[in-house]
Amino acid sequence: MSQDTALQVNNLRVSYMTGGQEVKAVDDVSFSLYPGERLGVVGESGSGKTTLALALMRLHKPPAYIMGGEAILDGSDILALEREEIRQTRWSKLSLIPQGSMNSLNPVVKIKHQMADAIEAHERGWTRRQIAKHITELLGRVGLPDSVAEMYPHELSGGMKQRVCIALAIILEPSVIIADEPTSALDVVVQRVVMQTLNDVQEQLNAAMIIIGHDMGLMAQSADRLAVMYAGKMVEVAPISSFFSDPQHPYSQLLINSLPSPEEKRELAAIPGSQPSLLELPSGCAFHPRCPIAEGRCEQEIPLLRNIREDRRAACHLVEEQVS
Amino acid sequence: MFLVVVLLAATLNFIIPRMAPGDPIGAVLEELRARGAGTQSDAEDEIVAAYRARFGLDQPTHIQYFRFLFNTLRFDLGYSISYYPQKVERALLRALPWTVGLLAISTVLSFAAGSFFGAMMAWPRAPGFMRRFVPMFMVLSAVPYYLLGLILVYVFAFVMRILPLGGAYSSGTIPQLDLDFLLDVIRHGMLPALSIVLTSVGFWALGMRGVMVTVLGEDYLTLAEAKGLPDRRIFFGYAMRNALLPQVTSLAIALGTVASGSVLVEVVFNYPGIGWLLYNALRSSDYYMVQGVTFFLILTVAVSVLIVDMIYPLLDPRIER
C-alpha cells in the first residue's frame, strides 16, 4: 500500500513534555487511509485522539512535540515539511473540521471573508467574482442560504456554524478531511443532519475523512472502518460491520457491551476501573489492569498492533488464540 | 443618557467650587494689594461689592445656579475672574488646540505602539527579544509622567541643550501656519509628548498582552492556522483584531481624561493648554474658569464615550447599534 493510500501514518509518536517528564499522548500509531474512505477514531477522553488530529495538521503547540514517525500525504511527509510548505499543504490537501465549532469562527468577520481568506492564502489566482460564486455554491451544498455569506457568526445557530465549518473545510477540495468531534457541540437531532451533510460532501469530493469522536452510534452510521485508541495507542482497527459483530480486542468488546440497546433492557455494563494516567502507565499492555482475560504475559510485554485477519488488526497477545 | 450625564456634571461642577475655601474677589484684591494698589479699606468694600454684582455673586445661590445652567447650555461660560474681562470660552478655545495636539496625538501614538508591542509580546512566533520588553514596560508604566518629564527636561534641555525647556513655541515668534513655526512647535512638543508616551505605552502594552493571550487560546485561531493563512494575516486579522476590542474602550476613556490626567505635564513644561489653564485657575480660585474647564473636560469624556459607542458596532458586530 504505497500509491493508493490518501494518507499513510507510520509509527507516529507525540509527547507532552511536562515537568521534565515525557507523557506519550500518541504512542507508535500507524494506519492507512484510503481515498474516499471514512475512518472513525474512537477512544475515551485523554486517549490521544485530538492530539493525533492536531499533530497531523502540525497544529500541536508546546509542550506537545512530535517525537518520531512519518505521515505521507501526496508523496511527501507532512511531519518533515518546512513552515511555508506546511502552510501551503494545510487546507489545500488536508483540512480540519474543528471540535469547538461554536467558537471556531472569527466573531468580528463576515462569513464570506472568513471563507475567502482561505482561498486567498493559497494563491489559486481566482478573481473576486469566482471566489464569491464558489462560496455561494459551497453554502448551497451544505444546505445554507446565500444570505449566510453576509452574516457574522453570532447571527447563526450552532448547526449553521458547523455547516459553515464544513463548507469551509471543502473550499479547496482537499484529499483528506479531519473531523475532530464534528458534532459534539450539537444536540442529537442536529447531529444526525449535520453528519449527513458532512458525509454527502465528503462523498462528492471523494476525499478521505478521519472522524474523531466517542459517539459509537454516530460512528456506526458514518464510518467505514473504525480505529480504537487506548492510552495513546491504537488497539484495534476493523471494518465497521465486523467490528460491531465481532470485536477482537477485549477493550473493544467491553466498549460495545457498554452500549445501550433497545432490544434487551439490561444493566449497562461499564468497563471496570478507569483509564490509566499517561504519567504512570501500567507495564506491558496498558489495558491489562482492566482486562477480564489478562494473563501473565500481558503484564510484561507490550502487544503490537498486528494483522489478525486480512482486513483487521488488533494489539492483544490473546487475540490469535481466541480466533484460531 | 448623554444629556443626563452632562447635566449632572454641570450641577456638580457648580456646587464643588463653591464649597471650596477662598473667595475669588478676595483673591484678586490680594493680588492687587500685592502690586500696591487699593489700600483704602472702605473703597475696598465698594470694589468687592461692585465686583460681586458684576459676576452675579450677590444673587441667591439658586438664581446663580439656574443662570449658570442656562449659560452653560449656550456655551457661555462667563468671564474669567482673574483675567477679567476675558471670556472663559475664549481662553478655552485658545488653549484647546495645544492640548488636543499634544495630548491626543501622544495618547493615540502610545495606544498604537503599546497595542502593537503588547500583541507581539504575546505572539509565540514573534522574535524572542520581544518578551524582554515586558519588565521594561512594567517599570515605565510605574513611573509618574511628570517625574519622567522633569528627568527629560534635565537631560535634553538643561544638560544637552538640544531641545527647549518649555512652552509651545519659541517666545517672540508669531503663531502662523508655515513650516518654520510647525517645526518649532514639534521641537517644543517633543519632550512633553515623549514623557506621556513613555509612561503610558506600558499600560497599553501590558493590557494588550493580557487580552492577546486569551484570544490566542480561542478556537478560531486554531482554525485560522489550520486554514493555512500566512502568519501576518492571523496576527493582524484574527488575533490583534479581536484583542483590540477592549483596548478601544479604554482608549475612549483615556482620550476623555487626557486633558485632566495630564495637567501636570503642561505645568512641568509650561505648555499653554487646558491643563495649564486649570492649574492657574485653581490657584487663583477663578470659579468661572474652573467651572468652564471642568465642564469642558466632562464634555470631552462624554463626547468621546458617545463617539466610541457609535463606532463600536462597526468594530464588533455583536454589539447592537
Q: What is the pLDDT of residues A142-161, one digit of tens each?
A: 989 999 999 999 999 888 99
Q: Would an 8 Å CB–CB cutoff place B229 in contact with chain A?
A: yes
pLDDT score of A1: 42
Task: Tally the residues of chain A.
Answer: 324
Cβ-nearest to A98 among B219, B245, B316: B219
- Percent of chain B scored above 90 by pLDDT? 13
Quote the radius of gyration of chain B (alpha carbons, Å). Answer: 24
Distances (CA, A) of A111 to A107, A132, A136, A276, A324: 9, 11, 11, 42, 56
Residue type, A21: Q
Q: Nearest to residue B24, comparing CAs of B291, B294, B285?
A: B285
Instruction: For the domain covering B93-270, report its CATH number.
Output: 1.10.3720.10
Of B169, B199, B167, nearest to B184 by C-alpha is B169
ipTM: 0.86
Average pLDDT, chain A: 87
Q: Where are the domains of chain B?
A: 93-270
Q: Is A106 on the interface with B (CB under 8 A)?
A: yes
* A266 has pLDDT over 80: no
* Contact across the interface for B238 and A106, Cβ inside 8 Å: yes
Give the pLDDT band of residue A2 (cuts 50, 70, 90).
very low
Q: Which of A108-122, B31-45, B70-84, B161-175 has the lowest mean pLDDT?
A: B31-45
- How sure is the predictor about B321, in pLDDT bands with cuts at 50, 70 and 90? low
**Mind listing the pLDDT tens digit for each residue in A227-243?**
999 988 999 999 998 89
pLDDT at A321 over 60: no
Q: Which of A50, A58, A59, A117 to mutate to test the interface with B (most CBs of B within 10 A)?
A: A117
pLDDT of residue B211: 94
pLDDT digits (tens, 9 = 90+) for A27-68: 889 999 999 999 999 988 888 888 999 999 998 888 889 998
Binding-face residues of B in 131-160 toward A, CB within 8 A: none
- pTM for the whole structure: 0.79
Share of chain B above pLDDT 70, in %: 86
Q: Please, what is the average pLDDT of chain B? A: 80
Question: Is A178 strand, coil or helix?
Answer: strand
**B29, containing H or E segment:** helix B24-34
pLDDT greater than 80 at residue A207: yes
Highest mean pLDDT among A292-301, B72-81, B94-103: A292-301
Q: Which residue has the higher pLDDT, B14 or A88?
A: A88
Mean predicted confidence (pLDDT) in A112-128:
88
Task: Look at residue A70 and give its three-state secondary structure.
Answer: strand
pLDDT (0 to 100) of residue A41: 93
Q: pLDDT by residue (tens digit) across B41-74?
A: 666 677 777 777 776 777 777 787 887 777 777 7
pLDDT of residue A112: 92
Residue type, B102: L
Amino acid B138: pLDDT? 85
Reduced 3-state DSSP string for B250-312: HHHHHHHHHHHHCHHHHHHCCCCCHHHHHHHHHHCCCHHHHHHHHHHHHHHHHHHHHHHHHHH
The partner residue sitting opposite B228, judged by closest CB among A87, A108, A165, is A87
Q: Per the structure block, which three cell numbers stand in for A200?
A: 454527502
Checking if the pLDDT of A324 tops 50, the result is no
Contacts of A154 in chain B (CB under 8 A): 317-318
Nearest to B220 among A95, A104, A118 (CB): A104
Q: Give the pLDDT score at B143.
A: 84
C-alpha cell at B7: 447635566
